[in-house]
Each structure stands twice: as C-alpha cells, then as structure tokens.
Structure 1
Amino acid sequence: MNDLVIVLTYYTPYVSGLTNVARDVAEGLAARGWRVCVVASKHEPSLPTHETINGVRVVRAPVLAKVGKGTIGINLTRMALREMRRSRVANLHLPLIEAGPLTQLAPIPVVSTYHCDVSLPPGLVNVAQREAVDGSSRAGLRRSAATIVTSEDYARRSRLWPVIAPNMVAIPPPCIPVTAGEPTYRRGDGFHVGFLGRIVEEKGVEHLVDAFLALDDPDSRLLIGGDHSGVAGGSVVDRVRAHAGGDDRIELLGFVPDQRLGDFYASIDAFALPSVNAFEAFGIVQVVGMLAGVPALVSDLPGVRVPVERTGFGAVVPPADVPALRDALIRVRDTPPDAEAGRAAAAATFSVESVLDAHEAVFTKAAG
C-alpha cells in the first residue's frame, strides 16, 4: 500500500528541474515516513523496471518511441493506474501527455503539479505535440483536487491559467543546499561566472557567452556545467561552442555530479541563468547557488525572476539582452553583494522543510 504515487515522464537518473522537484518531494516525504511510489517512463533501456532509491519505490514503464521531449507508450498509464489502486493520493507532474486519461480513470484523488508550458520549435509535428499535451493537461487540471505551481507569477502567465486558477496552491520547489566544497574548478583569481543546467535552446547559454566575451577581461572565466548528451529535445552545445569561438577562458565542464556541486558553486563569483523563454519556470539552480553565497543574474521571465526579487541577491535582466547581461556582470564583479545576507535571505525564503510541510498538507487534504 502506498500513501502517495507520483507520476511523471522522466525520473532520476535523468536530470532536469521538473525531475529534481519530483525526486526531492518523493525522497523528502519518504524520509518523513510516507510510503511513496514513483511511476515514470523507462527513458533508457538499461534502467531497471523496479528499484528502490533513497526509500522511494520506482516503477518504470517501457517506451515505444520518443517524440520531441516526450515519450510514447501505453504502459505508463496502465502501470500508474495499477499503483493508484494501491495508494491514497496521486501526484501528477505536468506537462504530461497521460494527464487527461489518468485523471479520468483515477480511483483516488489527484493533485497535479504544473511546472511550465510546453515550448517547442516551429513545425507541424511540434505544434501538434504541443496542442496534444496542452489538451491533456487542461483535462487533467480540471479534474484535479489541487494544482501546485512553483509561483503565482509564472502561473498567471501560463497558457493554462484559466484551469490552473480555481485550485491553485503556490509552493516553491525544494532547493536543497549543497555541502560546502572546494574551488577545484577555479582557474586563477579573476572573476568567475558559472552556469549549470541542460545545454538546450531555452537556457540561452549562447547569450551568456556573448555577454562574457564583451567583458573584455583577460582574467575572467566562464564555467558552463551541464549535460549535452541524451537530452530530451536535443542539445545546442554546438551553437554554444560556435559563440565561444575557442576562447580558452570559457570551459564546458559537461555534467556536474551531485557530489561535486559544492565544488562548482565554491568556484564561482556569480551564477547566471540567461533563459530566453517561458519553458523555464523557476530555476532551482539559482537558489542553490544563493544558499552557497553566490548571487544570481537571471532573465526577467515569469517565475525565474522571483528568487532574486524576493531575496535581492543578484540582478534581473531582459532575456536575450547581451548588453544588459554584460552590464549586470560588471556590476556584480565590481560591487559584489553581501554573500552572508544573500545566503540568509534565500534560506529564510526557500526552506526545504517548509516546502515539504506545504506539500504534505496539500496531499493529506486531498486524500481526505
């Protein structure tokens, strides 16, 4: 018997903001004594179908095919419904193509967590995929007992706001502090800027590269950490490399494992999240950086701007505005904000325990 079953497309070891939220809520509640099961796609054939990770039972459904950022396979719906029949409450992480049928057939109350609108490049196939996912999400949200969003700022600007609004509960994602590390990625005493995330279209990493190069500072360094292989929807790492032009001050680190995140944040003086569209809805990595004493430079996008606006620890700049991002980097370099005050503000605003308390309250109420 499960207290909670969580359903989503990609689960750990896949790395994304959505995946990490689901993982941290699942493991956080499991540590509090909840019996938690996660049902996800078996996005890599080598993954086990059944395993237990940090107290969470994980069940993976075989995939027939991948289309864009999503997967195709009837097994996820079937296996999720089987686990629902053994659970008290379900939590679906949207966007999820199976949301409509799952909420219609669910034998238990469903709480949906709506992360962001689907954003895909132009093209008939992508338009059809976006419409299908939006339609399924709308149906799922209408039948949900509650809809969790990471911020009202983002939710109000979502394409699905009319169906989010009636049962919305705003809860920031869990932002787990990293263990203090050593500056092992640092090269010299110059100003170090860091980015961490998947190297994909919506992250706008090439604009950060251009802004960094515009600093014209021979001692500065740009450290770009993140996966660019096996990324859903494809990577733009070649575009980033082309913008870097072989400048040896810019280093692509590849995937940075959890055990080295403390070293990464200890190596930088500013963290940049130059997102360019609304697929980015919050940016957990910027708060993790704040908790490590690193100010954030982020795009003025719904949700993404919230941590800096609430803590004052960093700067908000227009998306894809290279001169504005360059100027913000210069300000942080020349007049660094108070690291201890910024760290304290982030800790007070985004406490993991308060986030888990809020999720626990929503799930308990829905379960009756």
Structure 2
Amino acid sequence: MTRRSARSPRFDATIVLTYYLPYTSGLTEVARTVAEGLAAGGRPGAVVACRHDPDPPPRAAVEVFRAPVAARLGRGVISPGFAPLAGRIARASRVVNLHLPMLEAGLVARLAGDTPVVATHHDDVWLAGGALAPLQVKAVDASVARALRRSAAVVVNNVDHAEHSRHWPLMRGRRLLAIAPPCREREPAPAAFRETAGPHFGFLGRIAPEKGLHHLVDAFRTIPDPEARLLIAGDYSKVAGGSVVGALRARAGDDTRIRFTGFLADDRVAGFYASLDAFALPSVAEESFGISQAEAMMLGVPSVASDAPGMRVPVSETGFGRLFPPGDARALAGALLEVAAYAPERRAEGGRDARARYGTDSCLDAYDALFQEAGAVQGAPA
C-alpha cells in the first residue's frame, strides 16, 4: 500500500503558479477558471501562489495559500517558502497542476512526492533585456524541463505554439493534450467607450514590452481619419517587470485620438469590446493564444493578430480577422482598416464560430477528464 492510497487527500487538485488574483493575465485567468470550475462541480481544490501584492487578497472561490515574497527580480519574485508550501499542499492532493513557466517548477514537482503532476505549459519565459536576463532565462528553462520530465501529462494551448517552444523536444515525448484556454462568453453590453462614428480599434491586456503596443500606436498614427480612435486598456500600475505606458504615451505624442483607459473592472470589459470595430494583438514575443482576442471575437469583433505561433490560431481557425507580419506597422494599419469594415452578417457569423470553439465549458470538461485520469477525482494511486 502506497503512502497516497493509505490516506484520504484533502484536495482533488492543487493549482500552482507564481502570480494569482488580483494579478490579471492570460495565465492567471486559465488557473482561476480551472480552479473555480472544479469548485463549482463540488470538488475541493486549492491554489498556491506568492503573496506578490501587499494589499489583502480578494475573497476566492477556492482555498488560496500564499507564500511571502522576500524580494523582486525583474518580472519574477523571490519567495523561499513558495516551493515548500506548494509541495506540502500538493502532497495533500490527488493531482497537482503546475502552470509554466515558473522558476520553482522543478523543485515543486519533486516536493510533490508521488502526487501525479499535470503541467500546463503556457509559454517559454521571455525577458525584455538586462544584464541578468540570460541567466534568469536559463534558470527558469532548466526548472521547467525538470518539471516536464516528472509530468504525467502536459497541457498546451495549441500545438502550433508548442512546436516552437524551446521545450518542444521534451513535451512531445510526454502525453500531450491541446486544450484551448477558457474564454468567457460575455453578455452583450452597450458601447460604453464609443466616442465618434469613426472606426474604433482596441487592445486589452497587460501594458508590457512583449505586447508590441508601440507598433500598434505607430500603425494607428498612419490612419488620418480624425474620427478614428485607438483604445488601449489594461493595467499599467502593477505589471510584473514594469509597464511601458510612459513610452507609449510619448510615442502617441500629440495625437488626441489615442486613449489609455487603465485597468478595467470585469463589469466594464463587455462594454469595451462592444465599442470596437477591430481588436488588435500585435505581440512581438510568442504568445500562446490570446484570450482577450478570442473573447472579443466571441462578441463579434474581428481580430488583427501577429502572424506568429499560438496567437495566430484563433484567427487562422475561424477566418474572423487578419494576420500581419509581426512588427510591420504599415501592414497592421491596413489590416485594421480592412476588418473594421466587415459587414454585420460576417461579424455575427464570426462570433458564433468563436463561441462554439473557445467557450469555458469545453476547457473545463477537458481538464476534468485529464485530472480524473491522473487520479484526481477517483483517488487512484499514481
């Protein structure tokens, strides 16, 4: 009789990641949706994260354990207690789900003992630069590799992105599942950010270097229409590694048509999407999917995305939008104007297709089946 079969696990699944609510990113949204989906299904789950925000954490639908942060290093944090805490909670669970990249991933996977590990690989770590960046990337990559070797299964958002990962040789040797991240089907709302009858283009996400927003600003400034608007929404006060909003404001110069909305509360997001004629995802670093673009598409807003692994998938699968060469501001401007002119019928059809492909239920069903197979809800020994 193994140690796991001799006890009753406290949690059906423990989800481990560095940043959790109130921090907002595509990675945290996947983790939150899976954790809360399990809880809604009557299966107790836990989340382990770092206490990256000094403010009191918000109430959560699942039990959240947070390790203190001793220091910050670029986009990351140093938390000596994080891996031991994650390992302890993992050992009290039927399965542990590691969200990668994560500096402590390899150590957490080892400290999980005989609890089955399911790794969700979102992306390779990417740093904007600096003297220590190459060493940080090397350290994270080594840790991620150790975690992948210990994983019973590896989840990726899509194979297109995974094939271009530095970890592809390891991932393709494991049990690999492509599960599109959960995208919320929001209720239609009034166009709360609409100002004129001209075309409105927008982005929603972290105001971070890898998002390529300088190309979006440059592209928009080539569009002469005085009624056009560019709406850039997202947090720029609590971005891991630092925001680029200052540089973007400088780049916008005296163009009064460009708006920076800052962080949007969840109840304002649908109104933001409703204000757009086209959504833009101009990322310059590999992005595994782009939840915000898919959610906009689900509401009938076509997307213009960089033709790069992962982020091009929603547009290439649905045909609802345009792809452009990454970093090409002139091509981006042309694509934005083209899709902004889509007819209502095409927008309705694109929205239906996106909703059928990227809704939350299909993602949760896939994770649920995987966790069951790994021994998560049936309690089978690893």
TM-score between both structures, scaled by the size of structure 2? 0.93
Q: Distance in 2 between matches of 1:365 and 1:246?
A: 57
Report deviation, 1:351: 2.5
Task: Name which of structure 1's ranges 74-83 and 285-294 shifts more when overlaid on structure 2.
Answer: 74-83
The offset of 1:354, in angstroms, is 1.2
Distance 2:199 2:221 in 1: 13
CA distance in 2, matches of 1:57, 1:179: 28
Partner Cα distance (2:234, 2:138) in 1: 29
1:15 equivalent in alignment to 2:11: no
Cα drift, residue 80 of structure 1 = 1.0
> Partner letter of residue 288 of structure 2?
A
| Residues 1:76 and 2:82 are matched in the alignment | yes
Q: Pairwise mapping of residues 314-333 of structure 1 onto structure 2 (< 5 A)?
A: 314-333=321-340
Superposed CA RMSD = 1.2
C-alpha distance in 1 between matches for 2:318 and 2:91? 43
- Residue 79 of structure 1 and its aligned partner are, at CA, apart by 1.2
Which one of the candidate residues 290, 311, 314 is aligned to 1:304?
Answer: 311
CA distance in 1, matches of 2:338, 2:59: 47
**Deviation readout 1:282-330 (Å, 9 max, x if unpaired):** 1000010011110000001100000001111111111110111011012
2:153 aligned residue (146, 151, 170):
146
- Does the CA contact (< 8 Å) of 2:212 and 2:283 recur in 1? yes
Give the share of equivalent positions with the same residue, in percent.
51
CA distance in 1, matches of 2:126, 2:45: 30
C-alpha contact (below 8 Å) 1:6/1:90 kept by paired residues: yes
**Post-superposition offset of 1:180:** 1.7
Q: Which residue identity lines up with residue 339 of structure 2 in the other structure?
A: V
1:194-213 alignment runs, 5 A limit: 194-213=202-221
Q: 1:101 aligns to what?
A: 107
Is the CA contact 2:88–2:112 (under 8 Å) kept in the aligned structure 1? no
Equivalent AA in structure 1 for residue 246 of structure 2: D
Task: Tell me by how many angstroms 1:78 deviates.
Answer: 1.5
User: Match for residue 274 of structure 1?
Assistant: 282
Unaligned runs of 5+ in 2: 1-9
C-alpha distance in 1 between matches for 2:130 and 2:223: 37
Alignment TM-score, normalising by the size of structure 1: 0.96
Q: Which residue of 1 aligns with 2:3?
A: none
Q: What residue is the counterpart of 1:258 in the other structure? A: 266
Q: Secondary structure at the match of 2:132?
A: helix
Aligned equivalents of 2:77, 2:243: Cα separation in 1? 17
Q: Given the alignment of the two structures, is residue 157 of structure 1 paired with residue 164 of structure 2, yes or no?
A: yes
Worse-superposed segment, 225-234 or 98-107? 98-107
Q: After TM superposition, where is structure 1 displaced by more than 4 Å over at least 4 residues in a row?
A: none
What SS is found at the alignment partner of 1:193? strand
CA distance in 1, matches of 2:341, 2:112: 56
Match of 2:251 in 1: 243
Task: Tell me, in whole angstroms, the C-alpha distance in 1 between the residues paired with 2:84 and 2:177.
Answer: 28
Q: Partners of 1:333 and 1:133 in 2: how far apart?
A: 40
**Is the CA contact (8 Å cut-off) linking 1:93 and 1:113 kept in structure 2?**
yes
Greater Cα shift, 39-48 or 146-155: 39-48
CA distance in structure 1 between the aligned counterparts of 2:356 and 2:339, rounded to whole angstroms: 23
Superposed displacement of residue 335, structure 1: 4.0
Which of 133, 136, 139 is equivalent to 1:132? 139
1:27 equivalenced with 2:33 (yes/no): no
**Cα separation, 2, equivalents of 1:74 and 1:335:** 52
Question: Which residue of 286, 298, 302 maps to 2:293?
Answer: 286
Contact 1:52 1:58 in 2 (8 A): no
- What letter corresponds to residue 77 of structure 1 in structure 2? A
In 1: Cα distance, 2:12 partner to 2:156 partner:
21
Say which SS state the counterpart of residue 180 (structure 1) adopts.
coil
Inter-partner Cα distance in structure 2 for 1:193 and 1:14: 25
Structure-1 residue corresponding to 2:231: 223
Q: Secondary structure at the match of 1:268?
A: coil
CA distance in 2, matches of 1:303, 1:130: 20
Secondary structure (helix, strand or coil) at the match of 1:66 reads strand
Distance 2:255 2:271 in 1: 23
| SS of aligned partner of 1:354 | helix
